[in-house]
Structure 1
Amino acid sequence: MRQSLVSRILASTALVLLLGTAQTSVAFATETAKAQEAETLDLAQVDSFAGAYLAARTAEADRDYDNAVRFYQKALELAPNELELQQRLMITLLMNGQFDEGAALAKTLENDKSVERVTSVTLAFKAIRDGDFEAAAKVLNYKGPNDLDRLMNQLLIAWSTFGDGDETKAMDMVKKLDGPGWYGIFRNYNLGVMAAAAGDVDAARPALTEAITDRNGGATAPDTFARAVIALATLEARAGNKQKALDALSAGDEMISNYAPFNALRDRIEKDEEVLPTVEMAAQGAAGVLFSIGGALNRDGAEDTVMMYLQLSRALDKDAADTLILLGGIAEKAEQQDKAIAYYRQVPEGSPMRRISELQLGLTLAQTDKVDEARKHLQALIASDPNDVRSYLAYGSVLSDAKDYKAMAENYDRAIEIIGPRPQRNHWSVFFQRGIAYERLKQWEKAEPNFNKALELNPEQPQVLNYLGYSWVDMNRNLQEGLEMIKKAVELRPDDGYIVDSLGWAYYRLGRFEEAVVELERAIELRAGDATINDHLGDAYWRVGRKLEATYQWKRALASEPEETEIPKIQAKIDKGLPEIEADAAKVDAKPAAEPKKDDKKT
């Protein structure tokens, strides 16, 4: 349901269209000159309009907004009246977090209808930041048909009215907000925090309660749901209702389990420590509107739109921890780890989300090949709070990527000591990861009980079903039971190429070669370029007599950087093919287990 809703919202969002629209009015030089200059991405070497423009577009496509800004500025120096360049530079400045420069261009373009949705919100946010709430409300006048834009504008007008001193009118505007059913969680959250900021606890409580009991709304906008839970718990704690505050957090746990900010706030409330209001000023409320919408749209393919909303939100609330963490995640997806690290480090020290940012920071450091720094960072986090199981999972992920399986096993041994004799469902991943560590150490007698425990805690977990089933099949043990486990994993995750590969390999081990080919061909479509899947498909092709295709797949496996130990085996198959079926079957028990396929490196 959530995906279809988000898709519908995205399909009708004017801002998405603006971010993806390319004008065709720019005059170009020859294709060769453009390509040569665009490839340099060196400002000093670009001396033509076409080169600067193409370099900017290249950087923008790579989400390298620093360079995109620089090259658009260079292009504008050479063609100062080019409207498209002004539009693109404005948007790129805003997406790069350069709000003041973007707002200056928005003022220049405020009468340009093609970017009106961007300029109006930008100028409104500048007015709110400057304390000119009346001007903000005027510029936000929107009469279009788009539900999302209408929701955003009406909420921002309400917060502008609140900032202008008319709190009652502002709350009444939010109450009367009418639209599709998915408006509910946004309306109730904003009404609740607005009433709380006005000191009207009696109005805030029911609105926030309705927001956190809206399960459909929570699935659509989980970040807004989380903010609503924290707002209600904070409201009750500040009113002296300790148990009601804890009850609100428990309600949040039902939707988002083991969420660090909930745990941190619970800890403060239980210790009777002071908790600060979540929203105190109109600027924070307005920032929260764009954060909520950006969070609801946050999915693959929408990163540019989400980035725009979040960066605008930061213009009014630069220290919002959840905004910084979402921005860090988007930067990671764009493989801009240094920028992600910078966002994580900006999360305020006292924020309930600080530990999340620290954990993610450690993982991201490892991705930038700063493995030693990552290890020290995560070890320090474990030492600072030995009871936080998430720290062991983050550290274990770094150790796994480094193939330090001995340290990985020791890490999870300590984690399970902390968990104690009564593990909860959410601890399945700790046992799963310890099983992987021992399996990699070839200590199957220690690995298998951990996989079984992970399944006991979470019987429907496809990663565990796949890993254990694959391990059995690849070791020629419990073949039928392993096959059934993998089938179940495929049912739960039908589009996972690694799991589908496991099913194909199970059929191969059982001698059901035609069925193996079907599944392995599907696996290679889902996960192209994986050495193990190509190798498996080559074996299956050979067994059904498609020997030319088998050799081709083995060569592809060799070109896909397989593990070093597999290279001579694959080369031998290319040179000689597979032995006769009887000889092959006799050697099955001697073949070492390949690594069972997982979703990603980080599990």
Structure 2
Amino acid sequence: MRQSSTLFLLSGTALVTALFFASAPNAATPEAKPAQEEVTFEAENVGSFAGAFLAARTADVDHDYETAITLYRKALEFDPANIEIRERLMISLLLNGQFEDGLAEAEALKEDEAVERITTIVRGLDAIRDGRFDEAKTLVAYKGPNDLDRLTQTLIGAWADVGAGKGKQAMDTIAKMSGPDWFKVFTDYHLGAMAIEMGEPGTARDHLTAAITSQEAVATAPDTFMRAVMALARLEAAEGNKQKALDAISVGDGMISNYAPLKALRESIENGETPEQQISDAADGAAAVLFSVGAALNRQGSEDMVSLYLQLSHSIDQDSADTLILLGGIAEKLEQPERAIGYYEQVPEDSPMRRISELQLGLALAGTDKVEDAREHLKELIASDPSDLRSYLAYGSVLSDAKDYEAMAANYDKAVEVIGPVAGPGDWTIYFQRGIAYERLKKWEQAEPNFLKALELNAEQPQVLNYLGYSWVDMNRNLEDGLDMIRRAVELRPDDGYVVDSLGWAYYRMGRFEDAVTELERAVQLRAGDATINDHLGDAYWRVGRKLEAVYQWNRALISEGEDVNREQINEKIKEGLPPLDPTATTADKSPAEPAAPAPAPAQPDKKS
């Protein structure tokens, strides 16, 4: 299936899910309080503990924290001593950004071993925030077997020592901490930040340099890597080493392109300024620990854990733009665009990430069905800085969702003009999206060169390999080259159901039906509930004589997601089956169902492949 994924390690999701309850809620809202009057009215009409509990759990699963909190409190009116309900209430409060209320529950639950990992961190953060550093160190002391918890709580405890004036002790604690290899980027960054606080630039330089020259740092924790780059650049600028500061920035730019804060930092240093460090005290350090770990966990399926860490970080560092943007991104993943907008609007006006937040806000507006508002917002951003390619990507995404491919193509034509005659490796996305626009307009002569240009800039990009290979096979052109491209895309993205579907459908188009069944069965497992994949598998089953299973898959396609499948055609297949193959044909008898429109990359910076 031609599907372009949206650009927007450590295993730890059990902290919220397995540790507390089976279906924990996800990202929180910063300020928006949806339908509070209606929520209160509904809670007042709940007449039993069971009713309140079940309704609260439903709201929990739907990530509707306002409702969940109200209903858990209602349940506690019926059963004030119910510890499980109070645990769930505490988690919902924290995930909803209500730290003070969550803290009150954490104090009430401080003897509850089931939620000890959360209550100790919450209470420790409160102590650091209030300057009770020795108490904080005692609260977060960890002796358990979990590496992630040990890293988190040891680092927070070390920052408490820094706050208490025991910087050397803090650094010794971290230096002596043993653990897996992925600890190092976190420990080096925080050791460097602590050394800066203690006025030891040489020591700080050594640790920060180690953090940014580690081959695993970007893969393990890209956000912490970038914070280390910027901390080192600021340190060198403060020491009067302008060129070394710019060299550090170049290291970061070489690994993660178009990162707005790095661009702003470069401009500041080039102008002879000495920007302040992001961490200025123990509270900032503790917030940075939680950000570092939460950001590293930010993978599909880990939203619960990530939201919790980021909300705790946000509670003591409310101006951190990268934390707000990550929280907004999680809200968008959970299809909560209004919540996302609330986060993006909180990014400080003077932050170098403000433009990123404005771009993401435009995308979120489209998610609330305010498509015209989104278009106008993003067009204004393009006009304010026509050289910013991220603006074209964000606007192109909205146009793609609206299926306005003429405007989408014109948008990317302008972006290519901005790039000029010499494109860089990071520009592949612009050409890829322009190719998609022209392909959807059925202008293959204009689409194909853009896909080829994207591959010239990034030869191992699985999205492009998949899209171009699928298109060639679909059109019965360059069959072997197209198949090789899709195979390579599958090697690069073995768990991507859309890419595996492409391989299965390529085999189908080439008449290799048994191979098609093998790959399409795997695609269905990877991407359950996609109508196009179910439809493809049904066709493959029919061709290998598994006709009952074919009808079953076609029926599944009718009730699955995928607005672009031809439901009339599927109903006809259910009724009549597929026509016999033409024995003289070199490929299968029919074209695939029109694939779903791609979702081009939003404005977030992407790691260079």
TM interval, short-chain normalised: 0.7 to 0.9
Task: After TM superposition, give the deviation of residue 44 of structure 1 in Å.
Answer: 2.4
Q: Counterpart in 1 of 2:34?
A: none
SS in structure 1 at match of 2:144: coil
Q: How does 1:169-188 map to 2 (within 5 A)?
A: 169-188=169-188
Gap change, CA 1:522 and 1:290, over 3 Å in 2 = closer
Larger mean Cα displacement after TM superposition, 369-378 or 152-161: 152-161
Q: Counterpart in 1 of 2:522?
A: 522
Gap change, CA 1:344 and 1:488, over 3 Å in 2 = same
Task: After TM superposition, give the deviation of residue 56 of structure 1 in Å.
Answer: 1.9
Return the alpha-carbon distance in structure 2 between the equivalents of residues 164 and 483 of structure 1: 63
Contact conserved, 2:222 with 2:296, CA < 8 A, in 1? yes
Give the partner amino acid of 2:225: F
Return the alpha-carbon distance in structure 2 between the equivalents of residues 198 and 494 of structure 1: 47
| TM-score of the superposed pair, with normalisation by structure 1 | 0.88
Residue 228 in structure 1 maps to residue 228 in structure 2: yes
* Cα offsets for 1:57-115 (capped at 9, x unmatched): 22222222222211111112222222222222222222221111121222223233333
SS in structure 2 at match of 1:418: helix
Q: Counterpart in 2 of 1:384?
A: 384
Q: Counterpart in 1 of 2:94?
A: 94
Task: After TM superposition, give the deviation of residue 441 of structure 1 in Å.
Answer: 0.9
Task: After TM superposition, give the deviation of residue 450 of structure 1 in Å.
Answer: 0.9
Gap change, CA 1:152 and 1:560, over 3 Å in 2 = closer
Return the alpha-carbon distance in structure 2 between the equivalents of residues 297 and 362 of structure 1: 26
Q: Counterpart in 1 of 2:46?
A: 46
Give the partner amino acid of 2:58: T
Match of 2:10 among 3, 6, 11: 6
Task: After TM superposition, give the deviation of residue 238 of structure 1 in Å.
Answer: 2.4
Q: How does 1:563-602 map to 2 (within 5 A)?
A: 566-582=566-582, 585=585, 595=594
Residue 442 in structure 1 maps to residue 445 in structure 2: no
| TM-score of the superposed pair, with normalisation by structure 2 | 0.87
Please provide the CA RMSD for this pair: 2.9
Return the alpha-carbon distance in structure 1 between the equivalents of residues 554 and 45 of structure 2: 44
* Cα offsets for 1:155-214 (capped at 9, x unmatched): 222222222334444444444444443332222211211222233322221121111122
Return the alpha-carbon distance in structure 2 between the equivalents of residues 571 and 88 of structure 1: 46
Q: Counterpart in 2 of 1:244?
A: 244
Return the alpha-carbon distance in structure 2 between the equivalents of residues 166 and 544 of structure 1: 72
* Cα offsets for 1:140-161 (capped at 9, x unmatched): 3333343333333332222222
Contact conserved, 1:498 with 1:599, CA < 8 A, in 2? no
Contact conserved, 1:499 with 1:597, CA < 8 A, in 2? no
SS in structure 2 at match of 1:581: coil
Task: After TM superposition, give the deviation of residue 340 of structure 1 in Å.
Answer: 1.5
Return the alpha-carbon distance in structure 2 between the equivalents of residues 10 and 356 of structure 1: 28
Return the alpha-carbon distance in structure 1 between the equivalents of residues 189 and 562 of structure 2: 51
Return the alpha-carbon distance in structure 1 between the equivalents of residues 274 and 43 of structure 2: 52
Give the partner amino acid of 2:413: D
Return the alpha-carbon distance in structure 1 between the equivalents of residues 565 and 285 of structure 2: 57
Q: How does 1:109-508 map to 2 (within 5 A)?
A: 109-508=109-508
Task: After TM superposition, give the deviation of residue 547 of structure 1 in Å.
Answer: 4.2
Contact conserved, 1:467 with 1:597, CA < 8 A, in 2? no
Gap change, CA 1:424 and 1:588, over 3 Å in 2 = same
Tell me which structure has the larger Cα radius of gyration: 1
Q: Counterpart in 1 of 2:21?
A: 20
Contact conserved, 1:474 with 1:594, CA < 8 A, in 2? no
Contact conserved, 1:578 with 1:584, CA < 8 A, in 2? no
Give the partner amino acid of 2:20: L
Task: After TM superposition, give the deviation of residue 221 of structure 1 in Å.
Answer: 2.2
Task: After TM superposition, give the deviation of residue 397 of structure 1 in Å.
Answer: 1.0
Return the alpha-carbon distance in structure 1 between the equivalents of residues 117 and 596 of structure 2: 46
Larger mean Cα displacement after TM superposition, 512-521 or 347-356: 512-521
- How many residue pairs align between the two structures? 579
Q: Counterpart in 2 of 1:538?
A: 538
Return the alpha-carbon distance in structure 2 between the equivalents of residues 318 and 543 of structure 1: 59
SS in structure 1 at match of 2:369: coil
Return the alpha-carbon distance in structure 1 between the equivalents of residues 460 and 304 of structure 2: 35
Gap change, CA 1:470 and 1:100, over 3 Å in 2 = same
Give the partner amino acid of 1:363: L
Gap change, CA 1:593 and 1:417, over 3 Å in 2 = farther
Give the partner amino acid of 1:483: L
Gap change, CA 1:555 and 1:248, over 3 Å in 2 = same
Return the alpha-carbon distance in structure 2 between the equivalents of residues 465 and 193 of structure 1: 42
Q: Counterpart in 1 of 2:35?
A: none
Task: After TM superposition, give the deviation of residue 226 of structure 1 in Å.
Answer: 1.5
Gap change, CA 1:41 and 1:338, over 3 Å in 2 = farther
Contact conserved, 1:57 with 1:68, CA < 8 A, in 2? yes
SS in structure 1 at match of 2:566: helix
Give the partner amino acid of 2:21: G
Unaligned runs of 5+ residues in structure 2 are 1-8, 24-38, 603-609
Larger mean Cα displacement after TM superposition, 490-499 or 70-79: 490-499
Return the alpha-carbon distance in structure 1 between the equivalents of residues 591 and 510 of structure 2: 17
Gap change, CA 1:235 and 1:558, over 3 Å in 2 = same
Return the alpha-carbon distance in structure 1 between the equivalents of residues 531 and 333 of structure 2: 23
* Cα offsets for 1:361-408 (capped at 9, x unmatched): 222221221111111121122122211111111111111110000000
Return the alpha-carbon distance in structure 2 between the equivalents of residues 114 and 60 of structure 1: 19
Unaligned runs of 5+ residues in structure 1 are 23-38
Contact conserved, 1:230 with 1:262, CA < 8 A, in 2? yes
**Structure with more of its chain in helix, by fraction:** 1
Gap change, CA 1:532 and 1:66, over 3 Å in 2 = same
Task: After TM superposition, give the deviation of residue 345 of structure 1 in Å.
Answer: 1.4
Task: After TM superposition, give the deviation of residue 45 of structure 1 in Å.
Answer: 1.8
Gap change, CA 1:493 and 1:133, over 3 Å in 2 = closer
SS in structure 2 at match of 1:379: helix
Return the alpha-carbon distance in structure 2 between the equivalents of residues 150 and 535 of structure 1: 48
Give the partner amino acid of 1:20: F
Q: % of aligned pairs identical?
A: 63
Contact conserved, 1:498 with 1:598, CA < 8 A, in 2? no
Gap change, CA 1:172 and 1:417, over 3 Å in 2 = same
Return the alpha-carbon distance in structure 2 between the equivalents of residues 564 and 221 of structure 1: 37
Gap change, CA 1:582 and 1:257, over 3 Å in 2 = same
Contact conserved, 1:95 with 1:308, CA < 8 A, in 2? yes
Return the alpha-carbon distance in structure 2 between the equivalents of residues 461 and 215 of structure 1: 20
Larger mean Cα displacement after TM superposition, 262-271 or 420-429: 262-271
Task: After TM superposition, give the deviation of residue 422 of structure 1 in Å.
Answer: 1.0
Contact conserved, 1:290 with 1:309, CA < 8 A, in 2? yes
Larger mean Cα displacement after TM superposition, 93-102 or 269-278: 269-278
Task: After TM superposition, give the deviation of residue 303 of structure 1 in Å.
Answer: 2.2
Return the alpha-carbon distance in structure 2 between the equivalents of residues 550 and 176 of structure 1: 61
Return the alpha-carbon distance in structure 1 between the equivalents of residues 289 and 565 of structure 2: 54
SS in structure 2 at match of 1:6: coil
Give the partner amino acid of 1:6: L
Larger mean Cα displacement after TM superposition, 109-118 or 245-254: 109-118
